[in-house]
A and B are shown apart, each in its own frame.
Chain A
Amino acid sequence: MAQLQEYKCPACGGALEFNAGIQKVKCPYCDTEYEMETLEKLDEQLKQEAEQKDDLKWENKPGSEWQENEKENMVMYSCESCGGQIVCDRETAATTCPYCDNPVVMVGNFKGNLRPDYVIPFQLDKKAAKEKFWSYLKDKRLLPKVFKTETHIDEIKGVYVPFWLFDADVNAHMRYKATRVETWSDSDYNYTKTNYYSIIRRGTVGFERVPVDGSSKMPDDLMESLEPFDFSQAVDFQTAYLAGYLADKYDVSEEQSENRANARIRNSTESVFRSTVNGYATVTQESSSIRFSNGNASYALFPVWLLNTTWRGTRYTFAMNGQTGKFVGNLPTDWGAYWRWLLSIAGGVGAAIYAVMWLWALL
């Protein structure tokens, strides 16, 4: 007899033995039986997985160098309060910081940094942004009434926000453990049979231009809430698009932004692979190996309307997607109204239910 390779029991991890009596492999610890062929296939899978490591590397470098004449037309402002730096063309005079509403000062000609590859020009003007803001505040019953009157809506500013865009083809190899359950019964017993499966999925999925906010002044969750931007309207970058708007320049490098893109791509890859495993009672992911190929990053400016307002010592930042009009921003809660609503609904519904109970008892 050929030397039996030692296998581990997929159910309990114990060392398996070949049982001559039943011509099968049987685990001496948990009594589970296996076909020899099944074990060989499982072993092959495990060996392949051991060779694979996650590889999430990006290859190409984004952006390009600025032309000298392009730089001449642009000036930089710096905010003395929050340290934010913004760029605009010579004709557009910036007065206040879009991030913190404090005055900004011109610090000189634009210099350094990469030139963006793409820009999505503003599609919605300031008027549209204001309208969106008011309609966003409408029908919010727990919004403090005075909040609307104390907001300086005119200070809403159009800012081109720097984004890193990541492209990648993802090769993934996933293994799941899945179960199917059968039940039946005879006159004495109810039986539950759980069948265990090893599920293998291997394949490729492509991602295009996953955006990561490249400005440290912009909260990442706020910018992600503004998604999606429609990249089909993007054009090759020209300084002319900056006229009348402010622009931020990246201060979070492409390398620092990678992790965020990786995390999102990994989540989506896992969920799209998981969606191909159907017809099982339970599915557990046992291993995943994700590798990127043709990783590519580009540098783009996306249009965002920004409004900062300070109310009772807290700063609230609102942003609108300058392309789609999607409006985001957390609003304060009027706790007085909160309790009024809670108690009146609790009392009203409670009284109504109690009245129905009485009606039911009396009829």
Chain B
Amino acid sequence: MSPVLADVLQVTALIVALALVHRPLGDYMAAVFSSEKHLRVEKWIYRSVGANPNAEMRWSAYLRAVLAFSAVSVLLLYVLQRVQDVLPLSLGFKAITPDQAFNTAASFVSNTNWQSYSGEAAMSHVTQTAGLAVQNFVSAAVGIAVAVALVRGFARSRTGELGNFWADLVRGTVRILVPISVIAAIVLVAAGAIQNFGGIHELTTVTGQTQSISPGAVASQEAIKDLGTNGGGYFNANSAHPFENPNGFSNLLTIFLLLVIPFSLPRTFGRMVGNVKQGYAIVAAMGTIWFVGVVLVTWIEYAHPGAASQLAGGAMEGKEQRFGEGASSLFAVSTTMTSTGSVNSFHDSFSGLSGGVLLLGMMLGELAPGGVGSGLYGMLIMAVIAVFLAGLMVGRTPEYLGKKIGTREIKLAACYILITPALVLVGTAVAMALPDGKEAMTNVGAHGFSEVLYAYTSASNNNGSAFAGFGANTPFFNTTLGLCMLLGRFLPMVFVLALAGSLAEQTPVPATAGTLRTEKPLFTGLLVGAILIITGLTFFPALALGPLAEGLGS
């Protein structure tokens, strides 16, 4: 079988699996967030916390709960890293420095999972499982909760109430993320991923050298790392490490895990607003952008432009033999477009143009299909913008799902789409203007600039992947990237929840002949167009300086 045919089969198998699963999973998630009943374990959790899961929250109360929970998460994770050397199971690792501990805490709480540390050489068993793995779950559950609150804003009328954050957080964790992770983790171990709490295992190789085999509860973290679109690897090599991702099957499973919730949430949205076709229009826009990205990067990597790849006869630098170009390209696009950021190959060594496509995938705002929860609310914001643009064309007040998109709504949506570009471009500009930017580059010229641009794009959009040659573990980058991650995560949530509150208060307007039919392919086209125009106008100059200059120059 030719490699290209194998890749076609691989992508087809992935799409079929997602198509089969997204309906039952989407319906299940809609039921989870609509149900009146609490599970026994949930009742126990609410009782021990002292939270009332039935108290409805207005948007401001919902937001306060999100921010309070995230603030204590940052604090606890920071403390855990600072004292890991005196806790049990430390593996002999020292306490993490203050700037790196802040960066890592911001990174995992914001669902970014940018890593300026190297897992196998820095983090103890306790930090990995009780700190980092916990945030893998709860930061993902926070994302889903905020998305569900926005969906309730569309679904409800004449009320300001958006549900209860504590109930949404606990249900997302207990009923969705934990059960799927348990199954996925055990399948990963069956494929060869490790799962133990042992020490570093030393043995003598055939040629008489000493080799240290790393231990770790890897499979359990791997499962939620991808399911929760987190991306922080147990090891520095992330999903390229054979202990995280041992073969072609585990590789496809990993890609499936990181896509499955983002691609299923539009179904949940359709169910909750009472029209599944509205969900199809959203998922079609997500799927189109993702698929075009997969085709482009796979094609460019097989063509392997770039002097070194040409000389080698293929783009295998920074890729594993068991995956090859095809499975690496599929992974790279899926991880950058879902805000996951785990890698099974190193994007720094992809050809300049592929790197540009990966960058663009993040710059779109992580919505094709985006992170768990954040992808859906990002896409719904763009849908608001798209109906607004359509309204301008025909000169009538736009409406979406029976809700009027008035001045207040469009202002909130506009604020949302301005935040990450501002963080990316200002951050990159500051880093380039100071000596810190140049010192951190592994590569020179246009590719070096791409490394800095990629870092701020990845952090601000909460992706977490890197052009990893970039030497990010300095106080300057730990601090500025940490701030970008926190602001890039929580400022947009403020506007999303404010918008949700404003929509939920409205009285729905009945659809008329003049209403834009947002469940039709025409709207999907309009939505994709709006996304590309907004991102293109914002980022084209920066892309021209980095990946385009490199790709066209070589």
Q: Do A and B bind each other?
A: no
